[in-house]
Amino acid sequence: EAHAETGAKRFDFKEVTAGVDADHHVAEGYDADVLLRWGDGLFPDSPDFDPTNQTPESQARQFGYNNDFVGFIPIDGSSEHGLLVVNHEYTNEHLMFPGIVKVEGEELVVAPADQKRVDIEMAAHGGTIVEIRKVDGKWQVVRDGAKNRRIMSTTEMQLSGPAAGHDRLKTSTDATGTKVFGTLNNCAGGVTPWGTYVMAEENFHGYFMGELPGGHREAANYERYGVPEGSYEWGKFHDRFDLSKEPNEPNRFGWVVEVDVEDPNSVPKKRTALGRFKHEGAESIVAPDGRVVFYLGDDERFDYVYKFVTAGKYNPDDRAANMDLLDDGTLHVAKFDEDGTVTWMPLTFGEGPLTAENGFESQADVLIETRRAADLLGATPMDRPEDIEPNGSNGRVYVMLTNNTKRKEANAANPRLDNAFGHIVEIAEDGGDFAATSGRWEILVKCGDPSVADVGATFSTATTENGWFGMPDNCAVDSDGRLWISTDGNSPKATGRTDGLWAMETEGEGRGTSKLFYRVPVGAEMCGPRPTPDLATFFVAVQHPGDGGEDWEGFGRPSYYEDPSTRWPDFKDDMPVRPSVVAITKQGGGKIASS
């Protein structure tokens, strides 16, 4: 326990005051510089961003919308030159397009989409790979970077692994069941030990509309995943998003996608071995025997925590030898027992209830209906599993459980009914082996305002009135083994503060102490975070600034209304709010949050 003595001193910075206003705020002595905004050019030929003249073609050459996961892949081991990889999770039409929203009473009414708007939305989804470099202490985008790339909802991808080619993945335009276009709703993600970019398809159900043909075999499958939800109007213009026309298309989403960033023409692979659900993230670590372990959350109320263990071993000396590790391995789902044991149960065809009697004819069926397979195994229903991060320096794993206001029945790992503020579970795998099939778990912290007794929050008493938070979502472990948490859902109404980035002590006497390092503008959600290996930079992603949600009145008026709550980050009358990646550095240089 190397850190036991140092306790809370591991985070050395002056805390930001929690609150709500139009701007972002970082701890004193730090700079928070906007690096990439929605619409910024990524290539030498990228057109300038013009919110009044958006086109699918220009969006395809520009940074996409709603940056979520941020990864940094060093070039030649540098912490000052690398590839930034960023997920573009989804689009907020009311914030993107001028003139399409009317306020009717309490309601925002968004005008129906036309094809051009839909095609812009599709180009704004996906991901960005872009070379960046630190020059004189400040980060710059390298617009002529040879590996720069936009991945979109139209990018050709390959289905690989056990479910690839299965009849249930075939469509009228793809008789092979292996060729799919695009990736949707990529939330958190990961970078593998071999330097590929992993995107996690989360809420894919929102993109589908229409009705399955009567008696279709996928009816129960889709019901378990909430397909179709119909948030988007893409199916009006693209048949594949209409279930009545292309009933198998939803089976081609909800996967983990791996992208080889070294080749900008590589075909991204949907790795079916990692299961199909509302994948939140896919952070990984190498186990002692060389197998690679991926921790996977399924973000829905009462859904599960998973991990995938590769069959093969990581080869640190041969990148090419690792490129298909994700096609072969064992997916497990977690059962959190009352006695503090966690058991990782394999989702393997033919074992236990995963047989023909229950409608599984092959491993492909188990993977396509991962949730139903996990239901049958008796996995523990959780309070919305979001990002999950292994920490190689203390052998633990941190599970963000964002909230679950529908919980009426508690279990030990999800002890609060009507859990409005979420909690964090810490797992210690048996023998410190991340590939182990069992371990111990405990709750690191129950979130929310500790000064309100009914909330039942359990931050340490050293946590200040600024230091507590609700709704943990993304997280990162830095190269000193310190845990950082970003939140989704703090607001004037919910917690009297915006979302932000909090430092969370996990060791020693200070365990459970949280401190606010950075906070976002009104209406935004905090994503990322991504520290560089030298800890001199934290990249954070400010998602949907100015989006009011339930609190929009008086606080979240977006920039296309009169008297907007914010025009972050440009603060110009002719510019909308723009989701952006921010680079945080210490004034004068040096390691963040260290003296």
Residues that bind ligand FEO in the complex, under the rule CB under 6 A: 89, 187, 202, 280, 299, 386, 473
Strands (E), 287-422: 291-297, 305-313, 329-336, 341-346, 385-391, 396-401
Q: Are 306 and 334 in contact (CB under 8 A)?
A: yes
* 477-536: contacts with Ca ion (CB under 5 A): 488
Name, in order, each residue with C-beta under 8 angstroms of 266's C-beta and a sequence gap of 6 or more. 259, 260
Q: CA 290: distance to chain centroid? A: 26
Strands (E), 105-178: 107-110, 126-135, 138-141, 149-151, 156-160
Interface stretch with Ca ion, choices 253-261, 369-377, 468-476, 515-523 (CB under 5 A)? 468-476
Please give the single-letter amino acid code of residue 421: F
Please say which residue, 60 or 282, places its beta carbon nearer to Ca ion: 282
Please say which residue, 383 or 507, places its beta carbon nearer to ligand FEO: 383
Q: Are 498 and 556 in contact (CB under 8 A)?
A: no
Residue 223: other Cβ atoms inside 10 A: 10
Please say which residue, 302 or 561, places its beta carbon nearer to ligand FEO: 302
CB of 336: closest distance to ligand FEO in angstroms?
Answer: 19
89 binds, among ligand FEO, Ca ion, none (CB under 5 to 8 A by kind): ligand FEO
Beta bridge partners of 190: 198
SS3 for 443? strand
Distance CA 260, CA 254 (A): 19
Please say which residue, 15 or 202, places its beta carbon nearer to ligand FEO: 202
202 binds, among Ca ion, ligand FEO, none (CB under 5 to 8 A by kind): ligand FEO
CB of 197: closest distance to ligand FEO in angstroms?
Answer: 17
User: Counting Cβ atoms within 10 Å, is residue 105 exposed (0-12), middle (13-18) or buried (19+)?
Assistant: exposed
Q: Which two tokens stand for residue 69?
A: 């996961």
Distance CA 267, CA 33 (A): 33
CB of 489: closest distance to ligand FEO in angstroms?
Answer: 10
CB of 14: closest distance to ligand FEO in angstroms?
Answer: 30
Q: Calculate the CA dihedral of residues 296, 301, 302, 308 and round it to 10 degrees.
A: -10
Interface with Ca ion includes 473 (CB under 5 A)? yes
Furthest-apart CA pair in the chain: how many Å? 66
SS3 for 232? coil
Number of residues that bind Ca ion (CB under 5 A): 6
Interface with Ca ion includes 298 (CB under 5 A)? no
Distance CA 127, CA 142 (A): 17
CB of 287: closest distance to ligand FEO in angstroms?
Answer: 26
Q: By rule CB under 5 A, what string of x and - marks binding of each residue 353-392 to Ca ion?
A: ---------------------------------xx-----
Distance CA 154, CA 170 (A): 17
387 binds, among Ca ion, ligand FEO, none (CB under 5 to 8 A by kind): Ca ion
298 binds, among Ca ion, ligand FEO, none (CB under 5 to 8 A by kind): none
CB of 423: closest distance to ligand FEO in angstroms?
Answer: 15
Please say which residue, 365 or 525, places its beta carbon nearer to ligand FEO: 525
Among 152, 187, 285, 583, binds Ca ion (CB under 5 A): 187
CB of 371: closest distance to ligand FEO in angstroms?
Answer: 15
CB of 364: closest distance to ligand FEO in angstroms?
Answer: 26
Please say which residue, 131 or 202, places its beta carbon nearer to ligand FEO: 202
Interface stretch with Ca ion, choices 242-250, 269-277, 466-474, 495-503 (CB under 5 A)? 466-474
CB of 283: closest distance to Ca ion in angstroms?
Answer: 5
DSSP state of 431: G
| CA nearest to 435, candidates 274, 243, 291, 257 | 291
Which residues of the chain form contacts with Ca ion (CB under 5 A)? 187, 386-387, 473, 476, 488
